[in-house]
Each structure stands twice: as structure tokens, then as C-alpha cells.
Structure 1
Amino acid sequence: MHVGAQRLFILVAGLWVGSILTVGYLVAPTIFGTLTDRQVAGMVAGSIFKVEAYLSTIVCIALMVLANLLVTRGLTQYRIIRLILLGMLLCSVAASFVFIPWMNTLRDQALLNGMPVMLSPSADLFGKLHGASSIVFMIQSALGIYLVWRLTKPNL
């Protein structure tokens, strides 16, 4: 039973971390490199990051539940995995419920006033939020890489 649960854990974690890295470091730059309208590119990328953040929150909670189950079944090496997942969960919750909604509100307010957010009075705040959310995303990415690295280590 432990081996099957561990393999499922590794598979889900690998796919999930792969999706985070793909969205952040392949899809988003491609969108901005392809679309000439930066406002449209930002809106498309923002929508994709929103879906990724919600998906990350759900998958992370599921993996934490599975990690807890594995720890209670004697696989104490999953204790450190739970801490990594907790860090990743904090990142995805911050993105899902703080950064993305706040940035979307600023963008929507600017559009209601007939201008892109980067030309609005909120441009400075939007830029700071974007920078902070990028840092949080990079932290989540690094934790994800470390998670997969730990999971693929023999004997964890």
C-alpha cells in the first residue's frame, strides 16, 4: 500500500510542479512575446496564472492530506515534504486570494476609467504587486523543484 501511495504522490507532485514551471517560464513569456498588445497579453497571462493558483491550492491540499496519511503510516521522511508543501500552499493562497484579486481590481478600475492599468494612477501599486507576486511565484517554483528533487531521492 505504501509503495502505491508514494508513487501516486510522486506522479501528482511531478505533474503539478511541471505545470507551475510551464505556465510561469514558458507560457507567460510566450504570450508576451507573441501578442503586441501588452494589456491583452497581461490579461491572458493573468487568467492563466489565476487558474494555476487555484489548481495549486487544491493539489497542494490534496498532497498534504496524502503526506499526513503516509506519516501516520510510519513514513516519517514525509514530514519534511509536508513543510515544503506548506510553503507552496502559502504561496498559492497568497496568489489566489491576495495578489491576483487585488491586481484584477486595479486593472478593472483602470479599464472603467478608459485606460490601461499601467497608465492609471494605480500603475505604481500594480507594478509593486506584480513584483511581489513574481517573487512569490519564484519561491513557489523553487520549493516545487526542491519537492520533486526530494521525492526522487532514493529512500527520500
Structure 2
Amino acid sequence: MVEATKLQHPLTHRLLRFLACILAGGVISQAFGCLAAYLIITDSQAAGMVANIVVQHLSYYFLGCAFAILSIANILIKRGASPLKNIRLPLLILMMAVAVASFLLIPRMDYLRETALIDGMPVMLSPFAGYFQVLNILVLMLLLTQIVSSAVVAWRLCNSEST
């Protein structure tokens, strides 16, 4: 016979689930916001600038939320809640993807954009166009990584409650 075990800290687990679902929803909303910027604004350079600003401003929220989830999970793991160990790696991947995209790649793209505008041309017509496209593709891949890793964290936290 299988016995159902009761969680030791039900309110804390509920808080973790809430934060993880808010984080996953925020990352997905960020992706829709960036997509909407490209669909609404006809100038692709301006749309990219708006999308990058959205990503950079939301990065602080995502990093704070991920850090809170990771800190609370680590405290609970030390108190014996070992099933929470499976959210550590996706959270760290999420934090690295957010940090690299927002604090390394997007500022570099802004610099390339400003340099091209000083020369009097859009960035896609400047000599930096190939480099800019590579950075843009990397940012898009990191945004996809953020979506996947935040969804995995939310799924694992919601799934751990049901078992």
C-alpha cells in the first residue's frame, strides 16, 4: 500500500509555485511583447530597440524572482525537501540566459546601432550588419532558453506538489 506523505512546509511550497508561475508567465509575456513590437512598428530598427528595452527592463524582475525561488528552494532542501533539487539547474540556466542577453549582448547591439546612426545609416546597412545579426540571433535563442527553463521550473514545482 502506498501512503500519501504530507508536505512539511505547504505555504512555502505554495509560494514557490506562485513565484514560478508568475515567472513563467512573465517570460512568455515578454516574448509576446517583443513580437508585438516587431508586428506593430514598421521600422525594424525602431522595433528592435523597443523590444530590447522591454527585455532589459524585465530582466531585473526575472533575476529577482529566480533568485528568490532559488534561495527559498535551497533553504527547503537543507530542511529535507530533496525533490526541490531538480529546479536548481533550470533556474541557473534561466539566470544566466537573462544576464547574458540583458547585460552583455543587448548593450553591444545598442552600441553598434548608435555607431551606425552616427555614420548616417541604419545598422543593417553598416559594415557591422553581419555581427549585429549574429548578436540578434543569440538574443533570440537566449529568449527561447528563458521560456523553456522558466516553464520547466514551473512545471516541476507544480508537478512535485501533485506527487
The alpha carbon displacement at 1:147 in A equals 1.2
| Counterpart among 55, 59, 63 of residue 57 in structure 1 | 63
Letter in 2 for 1:59: C
Matches within 5 A, 1:28-107: 28-107=34-113
How far does residue 52 in structure 1 lie from its aligned partner after superposition? 2.1
Structure with larger Rg: 2
Contact 2:94 2:149 in 1 (8 A): yes
Offset from partner CA, 1:1-55 (integer Å, 9 cap, x none) = 711111111111111111111111x211211111112121111111001112232
Alpha-carbon distance between aligned partners in 2 of 1:58 and 1:73, rounded to the nearest angstrom: 23
Determine the structure 2 residue equivalent to 1:9: 16
Q: Distance in 1 between matches of 2:60 and 2:114?
A: 20
Instruction: Tell me how many residue pairs correspond in the alignment.
Output: 155
The alpha-carbon deviation at position 76 of structure 1 amounts to 0.7
Contact 1:54 1:96 in 2 (8 A): no
Q: Which amino acid aligns with 1:13?
A: A
Deviation at 1:154, TM superposition (A): 4.4
Q: RMSD of aligned C-alpha atoms?
A: 1.5
Counterpart AA for 1:108:
E
Whole-angstrom CA distance in 1 between matches of 2:102 and 2:160? 34
| Length-normalised TM-score, structure 2 | 0.88
Runs of 4+ aligned structure 1 residues displaced above 3 Å come to none
Give the structure-1-normalised TM-score: 0.92
Q: Deviations over 1:94-117 (max 9, x none)?
A: 112211111111112112222221
Using the aligned pairs only, state the percent identity: 32
Answering whether residue 43 of structure 2 is matched by residue 18 of structure 1, we say: no
Unmatched segments (≥5 aa) in structure 2: 1-7
